[in-house]
Structure 1
Amino acid sequence: MSADKFERMDRLPFEKVFKDPVHDYIHVRHRILLDLIDTKEFQRLRRIKQLGTAQFTFHGAEHSRFSHSLGVYEITRKIVDMFERNYPQEWDLDMRLVTLCAALLHDLGHGPFSHTFEKIFDTDHEEFTTDIILSEGTEIHDVLRRVSPDFPNQVASVITKEHKNPQVVQLISSQIDADRMDYLQRDAFFTGATYGAFDLSRILRVIRPYKDGIAFQYQGMHAVEDYVVSRFQMYMQVYFHPASRGMEVTLDRLLYRAKQLYEEGALYPQFPLLDPFFKDTYSLDDYLKLDDGVLQTAINLWTNSEDAYLSALSKMFLNRQPFKSLSYQKGKDDYLVEALRDIVGNLKYDKDIFTRTNSSSDLPYDYKLKSKTPIHLMQADGTLVELSEASPIVRSLSGNLHGDHRLFVPKEFLENHLTNKAVSMFQEDYDEFQKYILNDRIIDPNKNRSGE
């Protein structure tokens, strides 16, 4: 049975809707999509926050991967509906179901505080997404196989960007895709930031398929341009916020210390759900047992650890007392960073645990990347123009990494006066540390403080 025929037979007698603060209503017309949403693997996404540690900076950012995944599905559904109405010659009807399923399931493999967790335990959420889809025995796999034995492979190939139809792949993963369209608007809504606002309805009006992928009508250039600028602003103002990164570093060092203690046989209290990750012997079932609540429970227990470092870091994380940071120029200032780390290490701190460098950078748009498909505008005669050729604003952002490098240290080193009694015993070291600081950045104290 073809996917198109299955999709027609699989229609619900009454359309199901989910009320959504961003898209108003999310419409589900097919039993298979509703059954995918009801699986335990998809429901787990309710327990994983979309923005990780950014919730500690923007208190409204309590939304989940679940709501984001529904949003990506809804945007994709609107696009596919429009393609079927307006471009039946360019769009293959058989691609509808695989596109909608891939949109819904694209974030299935995210773990607790995903990016920080991934760095410590060397996991990959995209690999877990495909594993969940392809592994016999998962509820997701069983539902997808109702279409055909090969259908899970088709959906997974969209996630891995190996699907034969470039239109399908670009709708889910490209420099302007349904994933980014939803998370920019959703994250802007819940953080209260206006930077992520762009004219989504206009973009959905001018998007169109062509033989080699997805393009946008030329007259919609300014809406696409606004999307690129909004993405740039959200990364600079929200995703790379120093306070969020401070909480991320706190969590990173906390998990690093817990893993270190486990390997030494000294982790107490132990937390069995994390043992497979400390031992690097985890399975898919082990991974699916984890969510934000599980990890926070472990951290809560570790506040009572006999290890002073693990206990302190756990309390810092739970009570929102993150590391503070200074910006520096990577390469040029590396020797200054090491000097400051040594000063921290001279006090009561282990510098490998209580200092950390963190770099955040992003390419808002780049037409030169071989791994990324350029954004194309389609003129009235059908010819394509790459976006930065038509937009001076996008051209100014294109190809340039934006972000910064920061050194994170315990907050008392960046306070105007010593408040920690234990640190006050080392006034000389503290004063030496202050010589390296000017306006939230690291400087060489032996050079002119004006920035020479």
Structure 2
Amino acid sequence: MYEKTNEIKVLRDPIHGYIHVEDQVIWDCINAREFQRLHRIHQLGGDFQVYHTAEHSRFSHSLGVYEIARRMIYEVKSLNEALDEDEKIQVMCAALLHDLGHGPFSHFFESITHVSHETMTQRLILDPGTEIHQALVKAKKDLPQKVASIIAHTHPRLLLTQIISSQLDADRMDFLLRDAYETGTSYGTFDLERVLRTLRVCEDKLCVKESGVHSIEDYIMARYHMYWQVYLHPDAKSYELLIHMFFKRYMNIHTQIRPIPIFECLCQSELSTEDFLLMDEYRMMVGFQEALRSKDPLLKDFASRILDRHLFDWIEDPTEEQESEVKERIQQRNLDLNYYFYEETSRYQAYLPYQEREEGQMIWILTSKKELLPLSQCSEIVKALLKMPNKTKKRIYFAKEIGR
């Protein structure tokens, strides 16, 4: 038996009303140093530079994912019956801790350390020196390994992973609702209550009753619009690009200039656990402020652009003539093309809100005849989405002061 808290803890939340905690291991994890650090990591990377109210953190999102997973486990009767007590605790811990390894400015940080946030999350959970590991071990000796395996998609029972990471999971359901609310956009909303009411377990798979297809279509379209209107916003990308260029420059010249102590750990072959835990967005901002005094003009310039929001301009699908003209104007201003010009190509299919490439990642529909069918066989909207042509989109970014 897992220890319960002396009373049910409730945390007010704008999306879920209340977050409910009654398991001591969950409460201990919330209060652990590694989880509290998530207060200092923005949920949406550079989007807070576009949507000015998008100041929410990985901390609030992680609590929201936990709450949806908790509700799925205890409110979906067939799921409640399918899981034993150990598995319920494992899933709730995995939901709470799934983003523990995120660095500053969302996924950008992974391009510096070359370590995915999932890998870092598992490392923190399995490290005997972390408070998170100690909280889990205190509850049950093998709990860190079980939780880490759910996050790594290696747990022997796929159903547990589906709750946290699939096409219809607690993670996506929370971040869509939370990000829509915090950015002030309405098209990211969907009927969470209806989705929860129509969830079922069949053949040890998470699935949806046929009567719930329309609410799933609504959820899929919410994802589609949020990706193209919020997550892939070109100005958010521009802000993250400034940070990328700052560190590209710093890594190239840090041995030739007076180092910025805060950033020196990022120049090592591997970031230690302690250095990672100290590296939050507050610390990064202090480093950028220190760089304003750098003798290197490029480093100083990019630090200023980051702190004062002097974003790069951009052109979508430029002609060859436009691209050549932009490059020529950059060179006329004696700016280095390696730092003041950037080209990005993306494919539409990479950002489709739903795909059916792997069986474990499909949304399954439970028909009135008790058959399990892929969502695309039950929804004309989803079928049409999957047939979208794989168009290529090109965008160039450049220093705004050169003009268009």
- Normalization by structure 1: what TM-score? 0.84
Equivalent residue number for residue 394 of structure 2:
405
Equivalent residue number for residue 282 of structure 2:
293
Report the AA paired with residue 394 of structure 1. V
- Matching of residue 35 in structure 1 with residue 35 in structure 2: no
Equivalent residue number for residue 279 of structure 1:
268
Pick which of 136-145 and 271-280 moved more. 271-280
Report the AA paired with residue 319 of structure 1. D
Contact 1:240–1:403 under 8 Å retained in 2: no
Q: Post-superposition shift, 1:250? A: 1.2
Equivalent residue number for residue 67 of structure 1:
60
Quote the RMSD (CA, aligned, Å): 1.9
Query: Unpaired runs of 5+ in structure 2?
Result: none
Q: Post-superposition shift, 1:344? A: 2.0
Could you tell me how far apart the structure 1 residues matched to 2:189 and 2:282 are?
A: 30
Q: Report the 3-state secondary structure (helix = DSSP H, G, I; strand = E; otherwise coil) of the residue aligned with 1:364.
A: coil
Could you tell me how far apart the structure 1 residues matched to 2:85 and 2:185 are?
A: 38
Contact 2:127–2:133 under 8 Å retained in 1: yes
Identity of counterpart residues, as a percentage?
36
Equivalent residue number for residue 213 of structure 1:
205
Report the AA paired with residue 60 of structure 1. T
- Among 121, 138, 148, the alignment partner of 1:146 is 138
Contact 1:362–1:402 under 8 Å retained in 2: no
| TM alignment of 1:83-122, pairs within 5 A | 83=76, 85-87=77-79, 89-122=81-114
- Matching of residue 24 in structure 1 with residue 17 in structure 2: yes
- Matching of residue 164 in structure 1 with residue 156 in structure 2: yes
Q: 1:182 to 1:319 in 2, by over 3 A?
A: same
1:301-329, CA deviations, whole angstroms, 9 ceiling, x for partnerless residues? 11221111111111111111100111127
- Matching of residue 370 in structure 1 with residue 348 in structure 2: no
Q: Report the 3-state secondary structure (helix = DSSP H, G, I; strand = E; otherwise coil) of the residue aligned with 1:63.
A: coil
- Among 342, 348, 368, the alignment partner of 1:356 is 342
Report the AA paired with residue 74 of structure 1. E
Q: Post-superposition shift, 1:18? A: 0.4
Equivalent residue number for residue 299 of structure 2:
310
Contact 2:73–2:80 under 8 Å retained in 1: no
Pick which of 113-122 and 86-95 moved more. 86-95
Could you tell me how far apart the structure 2 residues matched to 1:219 and 1:201 are?
A: 14
Q: 1:399 to 1:141 in 2, by over 3 A?
A: farther
Equivalent residue number for residue 123 of structure 1:
115
Contact 2:78–2:201 under 8 Å retained in 1: no
Q: Post-superposition shift, 1:288? A: 0.9
Q: Report the 3-state secondary structure (helix = DSSP H, G, I; strand = E; otherwise coil) of the residue aligned with 2:82.
A: coil
Report the AA paired with residue 297 of structure 2. A
Could you tell me how far apart the structure 2 residues matched to 1:403 and 1:24 are?
A: 41
1:80-124, CA deviations, whole angstroms, 9 ceiling, x for partnerless residues? 0023x4555534443100000000000000001132222133232
Runs of 4+ in 1 over 6 A off after TM superposition: 333-336
Q: Post-superposition shift, 1:343? A: 4.6
Could you tell me how far apart the structure 1 residues matched to 2:215 and 2:73 are?
A: 19
Could you tell me how far apart the structure 2 residues matched to 1:290 and 1:36 are?
A: 20
Pick which of 63-72 and 274-283 moved more. 274-283
Equivalent residue number for residue 246 of structure 2:
254
Q: Report the 3-state secondary structure (helix = DSSP H, G, I; strand = E; otherwise coil) of the residue aligned with 2:208.
A: strand
Q: Report the 3-state secondary structure (helix = DSSP H, G, I; strand = E; otherwise coil) of the residue aligned with 1:114.
A: coil
Equivalent residue number for residue 317 of structure 2:
328
Could you tell me how far apart the structure 2 residues matched to 1:226 and 1:55 are?
A: 25
Q: Post-superposition shift, 1:348? A: 1.3
Report the AA paired with residue 386 of structure 1. P
Contact 1:133–1:152 under 8 Å retained in 2: yes
Could you tell me how far apart the structure 1 residues matched to 2:182 and 2:392 are?
A: 23
Report the AA paired with residue 351 of structure 1. L
Could you tell me how far apart the structure 2 residues matched to 1:106 and 1:236 are?
A: 24
- Among 330, 344, 362, the alignment partner of 2:330 is 344
1:378-408, CA deviations, whole angstroms, 9 ceiling, x for partnerless residues? 0123201211111111112126457832110
Query: Unpaired runs of 5+ in structure 1?
Result: 416-452
Pick which of 27-36 and 246-255 moved more. 246-255
Report the AA paired with residue 357 of structure 1. E
- Matching of residue 391 in structure 1 with residue 384 in structure 2: no
Report the AA paired with residue 398 of structure 1. L
Q: Report the 3-state secondary structure (helix = DSSP H, G, I; strand = E; otherwise coil) of the residue aligned with 1:325.
A: strand
Could you tell me how far apart the structure 2 residues matched to 1:130 and 1:25 are?
A: 28
Could you tell me how far apart the structure 1 residues matched to 2:262 and 2:305 are?
A: 22
Which is greater in Rg? 1
Report the AA paired with residue 90 of structure 2. V
Report the AA paired with residue 328 of structure 1. D
Q: Relative CO higher for 1 or 2, CA cutoff 8 Å, sep ≥ 6? A: 2
- Normalization by structure 2: what TM-score? 0.94
Contact 2:329–2:402 under 8 Å retained in 1: no
Q: 1:291 to 1:187 in 2, by over 3 A?
A: same
